């Protein structure tokens, strides 16, 4: 398995080396063909006094060379256009990754706030239940002797709960 992978990597490396060595051939050939077209066009301009039959043949030959030259020019210019597109796509991908990281950070911050709010609610419920239980115990003990819980004590419990609510749930 490892031998096959190594052989495949060696073949890929060799083909990339050959590709890098031959990468200059296509652009050079495209430039040569475009220059050849310009040379033939210039030579035809010097032969404007040719008879119609010879002129028609010359234009027919020129149209074939012209097609090859325009293909070469298209290769040269198309390569630059695609390179710009690829660079733009890479920039857009980087921006999307940055936005993803920022949104994940915002999500974590929101989850932390939510967890804190849940903890505050649980704490608030615990305090309310303890006040309720303490009040029930007071009522039971004081009720045994026939006395009632003083309104001041009940009001102080309410103030404590209101203060705790303000601390736990600020605007």
pLDDT in tens, the chain (171 residues): 555 555 555 555 555 555 566 677 777 877 787 788 888 888 877 777 888 888 888 888 888 888 877 887 777 777 666 777 888 888 999 999 999 999 999 999 999 999 988 888 888 878 777 777 776 666 655 545 555 656 666 667 777 777 777 777 776
Q: State pLDDT tens for residues 45-68.
A: 777 788 888 888 888 888 888 887
CA angle 103, 104, 109 (to 5 degrees): 95
Q: Which of 55, 63, 60, 76 is nearest to 37 (CA)?
A: 63
128 class by beta-carbon count within 10 Å (0-12 exposed, 13-18 middle, 19+ buried): middle
CB of 154 closer than 8 Å to CB of 135: yes
Q: Which of 109, 44, 106, 41 is nearest to 69 (CA)?
A: 41
Interatomic CA distance for residues 144 and 111, integer angstroms: 49
**Domain extents for the chain?**
2-168
- Does this model's pTM top 0.85? no
Q: State pLDDT tens for residues 81-92.
A: 677 788 888 899
């Amino acid at each position: 398995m490892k031998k096959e992978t190594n052989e495949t990597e060696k073949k890929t490396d060799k083909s990339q080396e050959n590709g890098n060595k031959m990468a200059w051939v296509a652009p050079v050939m495209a430039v040569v063909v475009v220059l050849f077209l310009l040379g033939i066009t210039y030579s035809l301009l010097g032969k404007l006094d040719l008879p119609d039959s010879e002129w028609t043949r010359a234009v027919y030959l020129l149209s074939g060379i012209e097609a090859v030259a325009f293909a070469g020019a298209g290769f040269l210019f198309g390569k630059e256009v695609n390179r710009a597109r690829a660079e733009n796509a890479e920039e857009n991908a980087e921006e999307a990754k940055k936005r993803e990281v920022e949104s994940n950070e915002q999500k974590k911050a929101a989850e932390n706030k939510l967890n804190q709010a849940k903890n505050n609610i649980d704490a608030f419920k615990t305090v309310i239940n303890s006040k309720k239980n303490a009040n029930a115990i007071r009522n039971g003990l004081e009720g045994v002797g026939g006395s009632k819980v003083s309104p001041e004590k009940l009001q102080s419990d309410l103030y404590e709960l209101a203060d705790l609510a303000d601390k736990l749930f600020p605007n």
